[in-house]
Structure 1
Amino acid sequence: MKAYLKNLVELNGTKTSRRFAYFIQFLIIVSVITFSIETLPNLKPQTRVVLNAIEVFSVLVFTLEYVVRIYVADKKLKFVFSFFGLVDFLAILPFYLALGIDLRSLRLLRMFRLFRLFKLVRYNKAMLHFANAMKMAKEQIILFMVITLMLIYFSAVGIYYFENEAQPEHFSSIFSSLWWSIVTLTTVGYGDVYPVTIGGRVFTFFILLIGLGIVAIPTGIISSSLTKAVDPVEEKKN
Structure 2
Amino acid sequence: MRQYIKSIVELNDNPKSRVFAYIVQVLILVSIISFSYETVPDLEPGTRKILRAIEVFCVIVFTLEYLLRIYCSDKKSAFIFSFYGIIDFLAILPFYLALGIDLRSLRALRFLRLFRIFKLMRYNRALAHFSRAINRAKEEILLFLFVTLILIYFSAVGIYYFENAAQPEHFSSIFDSLWWAIITLTTVGYGDVYPITVGGKVFTFFILMIGLGIVAIPTGIISSALTKSVDKKEED
Q: TM-score normalised by the shorter chain: which range applies?
A: over 0.9
**Which runs of structure 1 show a deviation greater than 4 angstroms over 4 or more consecutive aligned residues?**
none
Secondary structure, aligned partner of 2:103: coil
Which residue in the other structure is 2:131 paired with?
A: 131
- Give the Å deviation of 1:103: 2.4
Segments of structure 2 that go 5 or more residues without pairing to the other structure are none
Amino acid at match of 1:24: V
1:83 is matched by which residue type in structure 2? F
Partner AA of 2:19 in structure 1: R
Mapped to 1, the partners of 2:42 and 2:232 lie a distance apart of: 52
Q: What is the match of residue 114 of structure 2?
A: 114
- Alpha-carbon contact 1:180-1:190 (below 8 Å) kept: no
Which letter does structure 2 place at the counterpart of 1:94? P
CA distance in 2, matches of 1:221, 1:199: 34
Tell me, yes or no, if structure 1 residue 234 matches structure 2 residue 234: yes
Separation of aligned partners in 2, 1:29 and 1:179: 36
Shift of 1:102: 2.3
Q: How far apart are the structure 2 equivalents of 1:27 and 1:192? A: 43
Give the alignment of 1:74-113 within 5 angstroms: 74-113=74-113
Cα pair 1:159 1:200 within 8 Å, conserved: yes
Identity %, equivalent residues = 71
What is the Cα deviation at residue 57 of structure 1? Answer: 0.2
Q: Give the Cα separation in 2 of the matches to 1:121 and 1:131.
A: 7
Q: Contact (CA 8 Å) 2:80, 2:86: kept in 1 or not?
A: yes
State how far apart, in whole Å, the 2-side matches of 1:89 and 1:82 are: 11
**In 2: Cα distance, 1:110 partner to 1:125 partner:** 28
Which structure 1 segments of 5+ residues have no match? none
Map 1:1-238; keep pairs closer than 5 Å: 1-236=1-236
| CA distances 1:20-40 after superposition (whole Å, capped 9, x unpaired) | 101100000010011011111
C-alpha deviation, 1:193, in angstroms: 1.6
C-alpha displacement of 1:65:
0.4
8 Å Cα contact 2:98-2:109 kept in structure 1: no
